[in-house]
Amino acid sequence: MANHFSQLAKKSESNGATKKVSKEQTGAPSLEIYKLGDDVLRQNAKRISKVDDSIRNLAKEMLQSMYAAKGIGLAAPQIGINKELLVIDVNFEDSAADPLILINPEITDFGTTLNSYEEGCLSIPGVYLNVVRPSTIKLKFRDEMGRPRKMKADGLLARCIQHEMDHLNGVLFVDRVTSKEDLNTELIKEGFHAKDVIPIN
């Protein structure tokens, strides 16, 4: 699937899609990334009705900020924009690998196998905790040219997509942490407050 998407992305570039963003970003992120406790992170994002240059430019800015912050995923609500837009790059060390831009993503199927893996978030810097999620997913979305796409994902990519899609529903990964003791310890260590967590388990 990765090779297939890469070919689509290269074709999209030639059709006027977002130009390639350097993964070697220096300095602070150009966009403010909101942190746990900010109300904007708890709102439901809205579907994007038209994919145009403003959306492509926003995706480019999000990628630049994600790379500058050393992240592998960023959702529009994290920068205070209430839209269903995600940027993801689990191959951030590979300059030739194209990132994913997911517009109006929707998971159509979850695998039956669950696994636990440590997650972090640019909106909760310094906090890393285990979260249980399905290990495989199928999803549909629109690409940066507005074309409908489908894909399967597993492993880290599947986890990252689920993590970022949670942001579109006002959910943060700490809401899914089952060990309250570990959660409270990590939050306090990094200066966050347990009262800002909304458990969904």
Q: What average pLDDT does this structure show over 11-29?
A: 58
pTM of the model: 0.87
Task: Kindly state the tokens that stand for 189.
Answer: 């260590």
Q: How confident is the model at residue 95 (pLDDT cuts 50, 70, 90)?
A: confident
Q: ∠172-68-19 over CA atoms, to 5°?
A: 105
Q: How confident is the model at residue 104 (pLDDT cuts 50, 70, 90)?
A: very high
CATH homologous superfamily of domain 2-196?
Peptide deformylase (3.90.45.10)
- Is a pLDDT exceeding 80 seen at residue 22? no
Among residues 106, 104, 94, 123, the alpha carbon closest in space to that of 20 is found at 94
- The per-residue pLDDT of the chain, averaged, comes to 89
Q: How confident is the model at residue 145 (pLDDT cuts 50, 70, 90)?
A: very high
Which residues are catalytically annotated? 164
pLDDT of residue 15: 39
Dihedral angle over CA of 36, 42, 43, 49, nearest 10: 60
- Is a pLDDT exceeding 90 seen at residue 11? no
Q: How confident is the model at residue 9 (pLDDT cuts 50, 70, 90)?
A: very low
Kindly list the domain boundaries of the chain, sorted by start residue. Answer: 2-196
Q: How confident is the model at residue 26 (pLDDT cuts 50, 70, 90)?
A: low
Do residues 121 and 172 make contact, with C-beta atoms less than 8 angstroms apart?
Answer: yes
At 4, give phi and psi (nearest 5°): -65, -45
- Is a pLDDT exceeding 90 seen at residue 174? yes
Q: What average pLDDT does this structure show over 164-183?
A: 97
- Is a pLDDT exceeding 50 seen at residue 186? yes
Among residues 148, 147, 65, 161, the alpha carbon closest in space to that of 111 is found at 161
pLDDT of residue 147: 96
pLDDT of residue 19: 52
Tens digits of per-residue pLDDT, 106-141? 999 999 999 999 999 999 999 999 999 999 999 999
pLDDT of residue 3: 40
